[in-house]
A = this chain, B = another copy of it.
Amino acid sequence: MDVNKNQSRSAGGAHGIAGQFVASQQVYDLETRNIFSSHWFYVARTEELNPESDCLPIRFENQGLFLTRDEAGAVRAFRNFCRHRGSELVNEGNCGSLGKRIRCPYHAWTYDRTGKLVSAPNMADVNTFRSEDNGLVEIACESYAGFLWINFAPKQTLREWLRPIADRFEDWDVASLQIAHEIRYRIAANWKLIFQNYSECYHCPTVHPMLNRLTPYRGASNDLKAGPILGGPMCLSEDSETMSSNGKFAGLPISGLSSSQARSVHYLTIFPTMFLSLHPDYVLIHRLERIDKGNTQVVCQFLFHPDSIRQPGFDPAQAIEFWDLTNRQDWEVCELAQIGMSDPAYVPGPYSNLESVVAAFDRHYLETLG
């Protein structure tokens, strides 16, 4: 990794995206059709399934789904409605007390964990009724490195999709990691402003004095420069072990990292809802969930190795505190940008070369939006 690599970066004279992309309902609806209907989306870690029932109700955009493990142990995703009159089947209220089968609370139609309708009272005398026509509607669901992903219309396998960073999932042994902490934020900004913000450290000297001390912004480089997965490493300063309030490790260093991996943080974005921040001792996940054109929920998860978590006195507070502060600093400027860009008179400005990945994100976004 060449810390001067950024000198050769260029945004190619690109300008930002127009205000309509964060303020127009039409654009939002177009995104629904062309972006949020056909990608692999990370929705939960495997460990988040309810331990009593191996189920988890989730909402993705305006759609209700639930995840469940079948008898063969595979996790499957189903539309969360009964095939009879449409009742929601699994919710937080009943998730812990589901039995082997999923019974609709309205008229007791009952499904097994593969989605097959196994019982429907009083339907025997309906001539045209066939159980096999009325199974649950299934959605593609795959597991990778401990993450569960869904896809409404898969064009490639999850493994193909993640190939550009497969080595990193492996190097950091992400499959073994566990959630030590989770924070949820509601941000009054369009999801793309959060992507753009994560994709450059041009703002770091102004917005993040503490972060900029741990990883000076000129030590950022990018090895993934185009396409749906973008980003690269930033060098830790000499006196910093990891990103944390005191600059010290918050967990045991992850074993098997190369010497440069052990001295840097990799910042990766997976279009359109996930950030992956690989630290020497932990992995930070941002999962973005659109609320509406001007609001986004971000779920932040801190993953540590079970060896760390099991250690007596394990305390990730310095890492959590650091990222919570950094996140809030970021949300503040994202919200300021949302306000200004929503002004009907806003005209996009020119990017600096430090914003080359922002420009790459914009290009991929516009292509995908069609």
Q: Which residues of A contact B (CB under 8 A)?
A: 11, 13, 16, 19, 62-64, 79-89, 91, 105-108, 120-123, 125-129, 134, 137, 196, 202-203, 205-207, 332-333, 336-337, 339-354
Contacts and interface: CB of A to CB of B under 8 A. Distances in A.
Contacts of A16: 84-86
Given A64-B339, A137-B345, A340-B64, A84 B350 contact: yes
Contacts of A106: 203, 206-207, 333, 336-337
Contact of A122 (B105, B128, B134, B354): B354
Contact of A341 (B81, B126, B202): B81
A340 B123 contact: no
B86 A126 contact: no
Copies in the complex: 3
B336 A19 contact: no
Contacts of A134: 349-350
A263 to B, nearest CB: 25
Given A134-B350, A343-B63, A203 B107 contact: yes
A345 B81 CA distance: 9
B333 A87 contact: yes
A62 B343 contact: yes
A293 to B, nearest CB: 14
Given A16-B86, A349-B86, A350-B134, A343 B79 contact: yes
Given A63-B343, A207-B106, A340-B80, A353 B127 contact: no
Contacts of A344: 62-63
A334 to B, nearest CB: 9
Given A106-B337, A336-B106, A340-B80, A126 B13 contact: yes
Most buried by B among A81, A341, A345: A81
Which 6 A-B pairs have CB atoms at the shortest separation, nearest pair first? A81-B340, A86-B340, A86-B341, A87-B336, A84-B349, A88-B336
Contacts of A348: 86
A85 B343 contact: no
A343 B64 contact: yes
Contacts of A88: 336-337, 339-340
